[in-house]
Amino acid sequence: MLFFYAFMVVGVLSQAHPTPPISLTVDQSGKGDYTKIQDAIDAVPSNNVAPVSIWVRPGVYQEKVYVPADKPFITMSGTNAEQTIVTWNQAGWINQTAVFAVWASDFTGRQLTIQNTYGTGDKTVALRVSGDRAAFYGCKILSHQDALFDEIGKHYYKGCYIQGDTDFIFGSADSLYERCHLHSISGGAGAITAQRRMSPSEDTGFTFFSCKISGVKTAMLGRPWGGYSRVVFAFTYMSNAILPQGWDDWGNSLDQSTVYYGQYRCSGAGAVTSKRVEWARNLTSEEAAPFLTKDSIDGKDWIRSAPTSFKKKPFSTKT
């Protein structure tokens, strides 16, 4: 019954593409238009205004991928995430290490695995999303510390698997995560989220709706990267990997009075609120309602269904 209610609250959103997208294919065997993902992106003209669909055929693509800000309206799709893998190995500052960096607006990713294989001991971003109106469906985002840099803009993630250990979903974005699986590989008290909201006037935050949380040991739900950090979990299953206190103030007690950390109708051993930190919120239906809709990220204006028809590419190819 809860699942049905959750589904009805979010609703089904379908907005057709205004025109069929231009179709490009990436295939390592040489049977497509390009053998590298980045070559397909580079083929899209600067200041692009046409929808472009890039189909990535199964394979392990060892490359860093960069979608520049002047190439919006790209959709990149794999056959399935298990077989379509973009991977790189790099650690360092968060602005430099992303395996897959999206700066363009109106980007959609479907059925891709994006992983940073560096391991532990440093910042290792797998996916960085720095454009507005970005959506990801059925993707796997894998790393350790700082796996998903959800930096800025309005974003939607549905049916994604996100794995890491420390602050592995972090940034200043205004994002809705629906039916995603968050898996902590922290060895102790790593935080799942580190949302950065710097003032009460900023309309940003992370909402996790009808998600699942698991872990190999224990983890916190989050800690504030900014003093007004805002994170809400609703209708989410939390395994006993979540520590009873739930949240951490990152050593700054002053943030306890300004952060907004809420929970609504969650389930599982890790969802018990009786031992939560006193500054966490157990939301009422009225308090939770604004977060339980795609309107919270203006989704009706930009989230669209997958296209059903395509047109021949006008771009020159290079293999």
Q: Catalytic residue positions?
A: 167
Intra-chain end-to-end CA distance of the chain, in Å = 52
Can you say whether residue 271 is alpha, beta or left, with left for phi > 0 and alpha for psi between -120 and 50 degrees? alpha
Pairing of strands 260-264, 154-158: unpaired
Q: Which residues contact 179 (CB under 8 A, 6 or more apart)?
A: 158, 159, 209, 210, 211
- Cα gap 131→149, rounded to integer Å: 12
Q: Which residues contact 255 (CB under 8 A, 6 or more apart)?
A: 224, 227, 229, 249
Q: Which residues pair with 60 in a beta bridge?
A: 85
CA distances from 189 to 91, 125, 153, 250, 316 (A): 21, 20, 29, 12, 51
